[in-house]
Amino acid sequence: MSQAQQAGQVLLETKAHIAWVTLSHPGKLNALSAGMWRQIQDIFTTLSQDTDLRAVVLRGEGGNFAAGADISEFPRLRADFEGVFNYHTRIIAPALRAVAECPHPVLAQIEGVCVGGGLEVASQCDLRIAGASARFGVPISRLGFSMAPHEMRGLLALAGRSVTLEILYEGRIFEAAEAKDKGLLNRVVPDEQVHEEVARSLARITRGAPLAARLNKQTARLLSPEPAALSEAELRAAFAYADSRDHQEGVRAFLAGEEPVFKGV
């Protein structure tokens, strides 16, 4: 296995005016490394400039979408407040923004695990089609930290305040049928039909005028309420957990395969 594969990579293939973006991190259920977040930003920024495209499909390799962020990097990249702040505001947030602001229709093809950062990425897509056995959730409370503001926006837009808080409070993993009930998915199909259903959706999209699709996306974005931008102080306050004992314990316990013991400090 190459060094790039060990760190994870995001693959891009374009054919017949459709871009296929594949999350690939073998052995880690496509957990998103810092390098992969940066590649997502770069790839979607480039795709946004390609006027020949008709649609983009975001998917995971090997039967899973993405198992959140690569927690093995946390001790190195998120060791203190500034590291946590940088990781979430300068690595993850720009990647999510690049997906959200891509002018082309973006479909998430979801199989297997779609949790944490994986669900955050999927939430920024326009359509989400999932297999019946796909699993969803955001279990970060077990790591002693909250969801960053830029990462919560996509979930809030789909599920609303109450469901978002339920997902974050409970940290529960749930199945595709429940995810659809919560507003997180457009369509759930039998696992063996996911690829076929995505192909059908792409066929419908590409039969329409690409300019009309881009304008519809632009108009929908303009008409959707955007939360007020946080001040620098408010943004930094959202990461108050960074130097807490509970956060350190959560990461330690996860990496050690142990149950965390939280103290509330």
DSSP string covering 61-115: STT--EESB-GGGHHHHSSSHHHHHHIIIIIIHHHHHHHHT-SS-EEEEE-SEEE
Separation of alpha carbons 134 and 177, rounded Å = 9
Residues written for the chain: 265
Outline where DSSP puts E strands in the chain: 9-15, 18-24, 55-60, 66-67, 106-110, 113-115, 127-131, 135-137, 174-175, 187-189
SS3 content of the chain, % helix, strand, coil (to 5): 50, 15, 30
Task: List CB contacts of 43: < 8 A, sequence separation 6 or more.
Answer: 10, 12, 21, 98
pLDDT in tens, the chain (265 residues): 555 557 899 999 999 999 999 999 999 999 999 999 999 999 999 999 999 999 999 999 999 999 999 999 999 999 999 999 999 999 999 999 999 999 999 999 999 999 999 999 999 999 999 999 999 999 999 999 999 999 999 999 999 999 999 999 999 999 999 999 999 999 999 999 999 999 999 999 999 999 999 999 999 999 998 888 899 999 999 999 999 999 999 999 999 999 999 998 8
Is the domain covering 3-192+210-214 a CATH 3.90.226.10 domain?
Answer: yes
- Domain range annotation of the chain: 3-192+210-214
pTM: 0.94
Identity of the residue numbered 28:
K
DSSP state for residue 143 in the 8-state scheme: G
